[in-house]
Amino acid sequence: MQISLTLWFSIVIRLSELEPATADDSVQFKIVGGTVTEIARTPYQVSLRLKQIDRQQFGRGHICGGTVISQRLVVTAAHCLYDGRSRNMRSPNDFVIIMGNSLLQIRSVLMQQYNVQKLMSHPQYNPTNLQNDIALLFINGFVPWKSIVRALPLARVTAVVGTPCLISGWGSTINGGTSSQTLQSATVPVISQTDCSAKYGYISAAQLCAGYMSGGIDSCQGDSGGPLQCHNTLVGIVSFGRYCAAQDSPGVYTNVVYYVDWIKQMNRSLDYSYYSGDVRTVVCSKLAVLAIFVAVVRY
Ligand SMILES: *[C@@H]1O[C@H](CO)[C@@H](O)[C@H](O)[C@H]1NC(C)=O
């Protein structure tokens, strides 16, 4: 890991401003240089939120993006799961996932909301150099495919240099800005490992760069964990960059192809028939069953 110290201080994780959390206080968050889009065009995109904050004001809890990859599975960046201050991993109950919704702060009739049953951060995730910046969220429900939400298939081969890919999210539209109210997207080409390493010091095979050396179009704070979609497959996960859309500073993404085996292995370990919800929900349903039982016995 050869990210130099100077570089490290200007490198920002693309987590939302809510959690300045990183080595850099000037953390920023949203797609820069993109255009307004709708969830129907990126139906696999989710908004990962902190439940408590989102309950106070819908949309305020947004910290990261994510991608639906199976009926109960969402993939995001590992750094999205950690509390920036304590550096501890949060618990499943801290999160809520919003799907099928274009606007950050307004619920549409197509919106779906899920609790998280299990968090699976990559065991070799390194918060210092952001290697293995990938995590899975096992949601507490089945996404109905007849809804607007769709899974994005995992990439099977590494995208060739120059491939046009779509990035999307509610991250900041300017370097240092706040989350975007509208879902934004932009097209960025894949950049070679060599060219990217030349700019960042070291980029591993498990990472991938996309964007423009000239700057202008890039993912930003609040886009972390979101998709880099190429040829209708999930090729990358928004991880970090030096500022946003700056010259000679393309976006760095977790290279999904590299983690397909890990994802499948984790997915196989999950029990798709088991649901454990909010403790409160469970208690309520038990009480309801008890009430019905009592009612039956009385008669
Ligand atoms: C995960 O497992 C489910 C249930 O077995 C399966 O339907 C789905 O295709 C799997 N997804 C991935 C990404 O492996």
Tens digits of residue pLDDT in 18-42 = 443 343 333 333 389 999 999 999 9
Residue with tokens 């970090």: 240
**Ligand 1 within 6 A of CB of 142:** no
pLDDT digits (tens, 9 = 90+) for 98-121: 999 999 999 999 999 999 999 999
pLDDT digits (tens, 9 = 90+) for 148-175: 999 999 999 999 999 999 999 999 988 7
- Determine which residue's CA is closest to atom 2 belonging to ligand 1: 267
Strands 95-99 and 45-50: antiparallel
Better-scored residue on pLDDT, 16 or 71:
71
Compute the radius of gyration of the chain from its Cα atoms. Answer: 19
Q: From CA 206, how far away is CA 257, in angstroms rounded?
A: 8
- Residue-level pLDDT at 291: 44
User: What is the mean predicted confidence (pLDDT) over 247-258?
Assistant: 96
Lowest-pLDDT range, 47-56, 58-67, 86-95, 287-296?
287-296
Q: Active-site residue among 102, 121, 224, 249?
A: 224
Say how far apart CA 42 and CA 297 lie, in whole Å.
52
Is 224 catalytic? The answer is: yes
Residue of higher predicted confidence among 210 and 285: 210
- Atom of ligand 1 lying closest to residue 154 CA: 13
Could you tell me the pTM of the whole model? Answer: 0.85
Mean pLDDT of 61-75: 97
Q: Stretch 247-271: mean pLDDT, rounded? A: 96
Query: How would DSSP label each residue in 106-126?
Result: S--TT-EEEEEEEEEE-TT-B
Q: Is any ligand 1 atom within 6 A of the Cβ of residue 267?
A: yes
187 CB under 6 A from ligand 1? no
pLDDT class for 12, splitting at 50, 70, 90? low
| 117-138 average pLDDT score | 96
Structure tokens of 265?
């292995």
- 285 sits in the region (left: phi over 0; alpha: psi -120 to 50; else beta) called alpha
Q: Is the CB of 69 under 6 A from ligand 1?
A: yes
Nearest to 62 by CA among 103, 23, 34: 103
CA nearest ligand 1 atom 8, residue:
70
Could you tell me the distance, in angstroms and rounded to a whole number, from the CA of residue 70 to the centre of ligand 1? Answer: 6
- Whether 133 sits among the annotated catalytic residues: the reply is yes
Lookup: tokens for 261: 């085996």
256 CB less than 6 Å from ligand 1? no
CATH class of the domain at 35-269: mainly beta
Cα 100 from Cα 260, distance rounded (Å): 25
Q: Is 231 an annotated catalytic residue? A: no
pLDDT tops 60 at residue 287: no
- Check if 264 has its Cβ closer than 6 Å to any atom of ligand 1: yes
Q: Which burial class, exposed, middle or buried, applies to 57 when counting CB atoms under 10 A from its CB (0-12, 13-18, 19+)?
A: exposed
